[in-house]
Amino acid sequence: MGTFRRLKQFYWPYKKYFVMSVVSLVFVTALTVIYPLILGFTVDELILGDRQHLLAVTVAFLVIVMLLKGLFQYLQQYLGELFGIHSVYEIRNELYRKLQVLPFRFYDNARTGDLMSRLAQDVEAFRFFLSMGAAQVLNFVLLTAFGFGVMLYLNVSLALITLAVMPFLAVVVYRFDKRVHPAFLEIRRSLARLTTKVQENVSGMNTVKALSKEDFEIDRFVGLNADYRDNHIKTADIWARFFPAMEFIGNVCVIVLLAYGGWLVVDGQMQPGELLAFFSLIWYIVMPLMHIGFVLNTYSQSKAAGERLLEIMDEPEDIRNIAEPIREVRLAGHVQFENVTHRYPGEDQNALQQVSFDAKPGSTIGIMGATGAGKTSITQLIARFYEPKQGRVLIDGKPVSDYDLKTLRSNIGFVLQEPFLFSASIKANISYGRPDATMEEIIDAAKRADAHEFIQELPDGYDTVLGERGGGLSGGQKQRVSIARALCVNPSILILDDATSAVDMETEVKIQAAMREVMEGRTTFIIAHRISSVKHADEIIVLDQGKVVERGTHEELVRMEHGAYRRIYDIQFQDHELVMQGKAV
């Protein structure tokens, strides 16, 4: 029960529903065990005792019992559902909150399909046990307690024989739980792998079709689906072995009681109606025992689901605010790196090694280097997505860890190489970082990003609702909307991570011309592969394997004939010359 104890904070606030459901269940159980007594009374008193005049009263009493039982069953089921529904509402909210605050380290290895499986199927499995499984366990306990009490009242010796069977059933149930819980846990894991495969395939369908890998993807899915099937088969085998054993023990109990009870009736020590009532009570006990596998099924599934939910809740929040962080300030944007060394979790090599620079407020810093050189790592440390292994990152003379995370990041505008847009209107996407932005501010940001014209041409203009991940827009259009979103925040620090890579040269020139005005007064970091994107920067930093190998202005770096920047310049300049010659021809 450790899993349920650890999740108690989410369901115990709604214990009133659970308590009222249990009270209703007590009445349901008490009314249930009245049936066998009425049956015994009918046989012994009305039929054999020749007291037919009581038949109408007995029937009326039975109808009242049935109506009351129906009323309490409704209350028990409805209140039980309220208990489960409210509880998982809190669990799902906490899971989603946790996903928002977990660091980038967690998402580096997380799989979207697996997270979706936990937030949907696992939460639902836990709810099912809270709503119904727990009630079934209590129903079994109460039926056994009430039924055994009435059995003792009817015949002590028969009741003790019934009690003697319980240890054998308990052993079978215990062994069943030991085997079925790991099986259900593996089923949930294989389902998560299957969900992840489907999600990845749908997201990457363009790549799959472009490389004609449909058959390969089908084979991979078939393999994962087969694993899911095999896990279900293993679980079915456990169930198939369990139920015959339970039924055999139950039937042996019934046979013994039938033989002994029949002898008691023949010997005159027991009335026929009492024996009939006793056998009805036996099934109230034996049948729940024989079907306790279903209860254990829901319990094992919910426990396995709860363990997977706790795996997320137990993930450490590496990036957290200090006790008294700096809040609600407008940063000047003075960024300093002091001998910063950074390594990503699980990696063997440093992403950055002893990097130092001083970006004055309002300056523009260009960052260049090969893929994997550490360009993006610099910007991620500025926003405190990660903590550096060594050294310090300062903004306005204070370590970034001194600032409240929301305050820090609200002063930073990001435009990433791969823009992500939400399934919402263009207006909502641009104002995502500033929901209170006016329409004039949204349009101004779009104009600066050279996006206003194509937005106006859309059917609903700024109210046009985009598809998933910005579906309906070209790559360049999505990038320009992404740039407008960053500008709408009015950040002190602007980070352009290869922001114009998805637009053509002509559009890039327009965006750069518009953004020179925007960059005025803001500290701007431009990560780019094109010389044209960084040539106007106040300082250009060239990285190689995490180290700063060159730094200076465009003119200074071009004069280094054998430098890395000069090599990039020569290659891109030659390409430009070839293009111009082709146009001339």
368 conformational bin, left if phi > 0, alpha if psi -120 to 50, beta if neither: beta
- Is the pLDDT at 212 greater than 80? The verdict is no
Stronger pLDDT, 445 or 217, i.e. the higher one: 445
Mean pLDDT score, 8-18: 88
Mean pLDDT score, 487-513: 75
Q: How far is CA 460 from the centre of its chain?
A: 34
Stronger pLDDT, 250 or 561, i.e. the higher one: 561
Smallest CA-to-CA distance from 116 within 9, 197, 8, 185 is with 197
From residue 63, alpha-carbon distances to 9, 34, 39, 57 in Å are: 42, 12, 13, 10
What confidence tier does 1 reach under pLDDT thresholds 50, 70, 90?
low
- Hey, which of 63-67, 199-203, 218-222, 581-585 has the most confident mean pLDDT? 63-67
For every residue of 506-524, DSSP letters joined together read HHHHHHHHHHHHHHTTSEE
| Opening angle at CA 234, ends 167 and 246, nearest 5 | 25
- Is the pLDDT at 515 greater than 50? The verdict is yes
Stronger pLDDT, 98 or 513, i.e. the higher one: 98
Query: Are the beta carbons of 181 and 129 closer than 8 angstroms?
Result: no
φ, ψ at 326 (rounded to 5°): -80, 125
Domains of the chain: 2-313 (1.20.1560.10), 325-411+522-585 (3.40.50.300)
388 conformational bin, left if phi > 0, alpha if psi -120 to 50, beta if neither: beta
- Is the pLDDT at 581 greater than 50? The verdict is no
Maximum Cα interatomic distance, the chain, rounded to a whole number of Å: 121
Rounded CA-CA distance 311/325 in Å is 29
- Over pLDDT 90: what percentage of the chain? 14
For every residue of 358-386, DSSP letters joined together read EE-TT-EEEEEESTTSSHHHHHHHHTTSS
Rounded CA-CA distance 319/317 in Å is 6
Strands 390-395 and 398-399: antiparallel
Q: Which helix (H) or strand (E) holds 163?
A: helix 156-203
φ, ψ at 372 (rounded to 5°): 85, 5
Query: Are the beta carbons of 98 and 313 closer than 8 angstroms?
Result: yes
Which pLDDT belongs to residue 433?
85
Rounded CA-CA distance 297/300 in Å is 5
Mean pLDDT score, 348-352: 89
Rounded CA-CA distance 165/248 in Å is 11
For residue 539, with 0-12 CB atoms within 10 Å meaning exposed, 13-18 middle and 19 or more buried, which class applies?
buried
What confidence tier does 286 reach under pLDDT thresholds 50, 70, 90?
low
Q: 């909150």: which residue's tokens?
A: 97
For every residue of 405-435, DSSP letters joined together read HHHHHHTEEEE-SS----SSBHHHHHTTT-T
Contacts of 275 (CB under 8 A, 6+ apart): 261, 262, 264, 265
Q: 């090694």: which residue's tokens?
A: 353
Query: CB 370: neighbour CB atoms within 10 A?
Result: 14
First to last CA, the chain: 80
Q: What share of the chain is helix, strand, coil (3-state, %, to 5)?
A: 65, 10, 25
- Is the pLDDT at 334 greater than 90? The verdict is yes
Mean pLDDT score, 473-495: 84
Identify the three-state secondary structure at position 350: coil
Which pLDDT belongs to residue 295?
72
Query: Are the beta carbons of 448 and 518 closer than 8 angstroms?
Result: yes
Smallest CA-to-CA distance from 129 within 171, 69, 73, 181 is with 181
Stronger pLDDT, 258 or 359, i.e. the higher one: 359
Rounded CA-CA distance 329/410 in Å is 10
- Is the pLDDT at 27 greater than 80? The verdict is yes
Rounded CA-CA distance 403/329 in Å is 9
pLDDT in tens, 127-183: 878 887 777 777 777 877 777 787 788 778 877 877 777 777 777 777 776 777 677
Q: What is the DSSP letter of 466?
A: P
Strands 352-359 and 398-399: unpaired
pLDDT in tens, 373-410: 888 899 999 989 889 999 999 999 999 999 998 889 88
